[in-house]
Every structure is written in structure tokens, then in C-alpha cells.
Amino acid sequence: MKTVDSINFAGKRALIRVDFNVPLNENFEVTDETRIKAAIPTLKKILKDDGSIVLMSHLGRPKEGPTNKYSLKHIVKNVSKLLGSNVLFAEDCIGSGAFAGSAALKPGEVLLLENLRFYKEEEKGDEAFAQKLSKHGDIYVNDAFGTAHRSHASTAVIAKFFGQEAKCFGYVMAGEVASIDKVLNKAEKPFTAIIGGAKVSDKILIIEQLMNKANNILIGGGMAFTFVKAMGGQIGKSLCEDDRLETARELLAKAKQKGVNIYIPTDAIIADNFSNDANKKESKINVIPDGWMGLDAGPETVKMNNEVIMNSKTILWNGPMGVLK
């Protein structure tokens, strides 16, 4: 894997796709800086070389274009504090001000672009949008591991607008890939994979790969309900991808054939609404009443998962097992 170590950034503008999708509270303060901290070594290497930096990221899932709540301006001070240097901000990632800003960068300077998802072209993987973004830098650095499973304009499509010698990965990406390689190829058995998150469609490839490596796969989070429905259960108004029921059945059949134990939750904490003051109760997972939805693992499932985890020598965890806001 080619990383920033193989490039001298002196006098160059590095366009870095980071994952600064961090949680903000109601006052728009960052409540967890982990993802920003993680990116700092990559940024420092480039600044040490005497390069300049254009940072681009998404924040949340804005649907209506520019929205204050999802503005990356809220995180500028955090990036600046953690990096120990001033960070400029461009209010529109492909506006004329943004291009003037990136063109004027001097060695050692850093510019953060506004939320890429204020343009629907980002998630669509639009080529023209990716090409525009590519004009912000001489070298493209992908360090957005948390977004690596999305083939969006700034994560995948943009790479084609840079020559082989002008693109590489950052340290976050390299570190995560090394960890995954270690887990997949040198795992001590029993090896248990915990796979959560909202969508089966996001996890099909990883589950298929893990079936060749893991002894146990614990399924959780929103996608568990697609599996439960695929097995004939009633899931009320829980999250479900109806177009993936067949996929879920195929995954279960494949696991059986390979002798991998797949654990689907057996009970859930259900609620009649997605809010803090909703009515809540426990339920078997396959008889969730109409109008109710599963939002977390039930006590029986927690106990089952605990037992499997405590008997494992290697754990790989991907995705939340309950609602995460």
C-alpha cells in the first residue's frame, strides 16, 4: 500500500479526504474528537515536508443542501487545536472562494472545505463534481477509513483524476488495513466477528469474507431485522431492507455450508417511537407488534453474545449493535 511516506510534499498541495464525521451536541460542539485526532499524523507529515493541505470531509447525512447543523465550520477550532496550527475554512467546497483559497495556500497552510454532502453529487459519485474537487490539490491522499465502504465522488471517483505518482493513502487508512490484515490472516481461534449497523447491503462483502475466516459471526444492529424477517419473523416497523431478504437467506445458507456459527438476536428492546420519551419494552425478536420497532439487543441476546465473546480468542467488531445517534 502506497502511503504518504513515499511522497515528498514540499511545495505541493495535498488534497486529503478525511472522515471528520464527528458527533456534535446541540451547541454544535464536538463531543468526540477521535476521528480528528486520528488524522493528525498524516497532516503533520505533509506540513513537515513543507506542503500545504486542503481537507475535505462529509458531516452527517444532510438531505437538503447547505444546513447549519451539518456545517464543518463547527469543527474548525478542534482541528486547529489538535494540529497546533491555524485552519482556514471555505464555505462552499466547489465555490469560487474555495478555489481561490486552495490556490493561494502557502507551504504550511491548511484549508478545510465545507461539507461535501451539501452537494448531492458527492453521494452519487458524480464524475464532474469529483473532477472539480480534484482541482484543489496536486496530490490526492485518501485517509477516510470510516468512509472507505462508500464509493462517493471524494473517496473513490476522484482518484482517477490523479496520476499514479500523485495519489496515496494516509496513516489512518494504512493502520486500519494493517489491523484488518492481522486479524484476518493471523487470528487466534476461536475467532468471533461482531457485525452491526443499519444495512445488510453495506455488510454483504465483509460477511462473505469473514465466513472464510471466522468461527462465529454475531449479527446485531438494524440489519438484524432484515435477517429476522428473512427467516419469517414479524418485525413491526423495525429497520428492514426488503430488497435484501434473499441476500440474508443466502448468507445464512452459506454460513451453514461453511460451518460458521451465525448468531441472530433472539430478543430486542422495542419502542413505539424513535425518541427518548417513547414507550419501551422487551420482546422476542420475531414477534414485534405492529407499530413497534426494535432499537437494541434484549437481555437474552446480550447474554448469548457475552458467552460467545468470552469464549473467543480474537474479536473483530464492525458497526453498532443498537441505535447510535
Beta bridge partners of 263: 218
Cβ-based nearer residue to ligand 3PG, 86 or 151: 151
Which H or E element spans position 56? strand 52-56
Start-end of H helices in the chain? 34-48, 76-83, 96-103, 120-124, 127-134, 171-186, 200-210, 223-230, 245-258, 299-310
Does the footprint of ligand 3PG cover residue 19 (CB under 6 A)? yes
Which listed residue (150, 199, 213, 280) binds ligand 3PG by CB under 6 A?
Answer: 150
Q: In what order do the strands lie in the sheet with 13-17?
A: 88-90, 110-113, 52-56, 13-17, 139-142, 167-169
Which listed residue (6, 25, 26, 61) binds ligand 3PG by CB under 6 A?
Answer: 61
Does the footprint of ligand 3PG cover residue 325 (CB under 6 A)? no
Q: How far is the CB of 22 from ligand 3PG (least distance, A)?
A: 9
Nearest 5°: CA angle at 228, between 183 and 258? 45
Cβ-based nearer residue to ligand 3PG, 61 or 325: 61
The region of 25-33, 100-108, 145-153, 228-236 touching ligand 3PG under the rule CB under 6 A is 145-153
Which listed residue (3, 21, 215, 238) binds ligand 3PG by CB under 6 A?
Answer: 21
Question: What are the φ and ψ backbone dihedral angles of 37, each rounded to 5 degrees?
Answer: -55, -40
Tell me the three cell numbers of residue 44. Answer: 503533520
CA pair distance 123, 151, nearest whole angstrom: 8
Cβ-based nearer residue to ligand 3PG, 102 or 115: 115
Instruction: Determine contact, residues 319/204, Cβ cutoff 8 Å.
Output: no
Cβ-based nearer residue to ligand 3PG, 75 or 304: 75
Cβ-based nearer residue to ligand 3PG, 61 or 106: 61
Give the residue closest to ligand 3PG by C-beta: 21
Does the footprint of ligand 3PG cover residue 44 (CB under 6 A)? no
Instruction: Determine contact, residues 244/203, Cβ cutoff 8 Å.
Output: no
Grid cell 447547505 is found at 66
Instruction: Determine contact, residues 136/110, Cβ cutoff 8 Å.
Output: no
The DSSP string of 76-126 is: HHHHHHHHTS--EEESSTTSHHHHHHHHTPPTT-EEEEP-GGGSHHHHHT-
Q: How far is the CB of 232 from ligand 3PG (least distance, A)?
A: 29
Contacts of 249 (CB under 8 A, 6+ apart): 230, 231
The region of 132-140, 142-150, 230-238, 286-294 touching ligand 3PG under the rule CB under 6 A is 142-150
Q: How far is the CB of 321 from ligand 3PG (least distance, A)?
A: 15
The region of 146-154, 176-184, 244-252, 301-309 touching ligand 3PG under the rule CB under 6 A is 146-154
Does the footprint of ligand 3PG cover residue 199 (CB under 6 A)? no
Q: How far is the CB of 319 from ligand 3PG (least distance, A)?
A: 9
Does the footprint of ligand 3PG cover residue 147 (CB under 6 A)? yes
Residues that bind ligand 3PG (CB under 6 A): 19, 21, 61, 146-147, 150
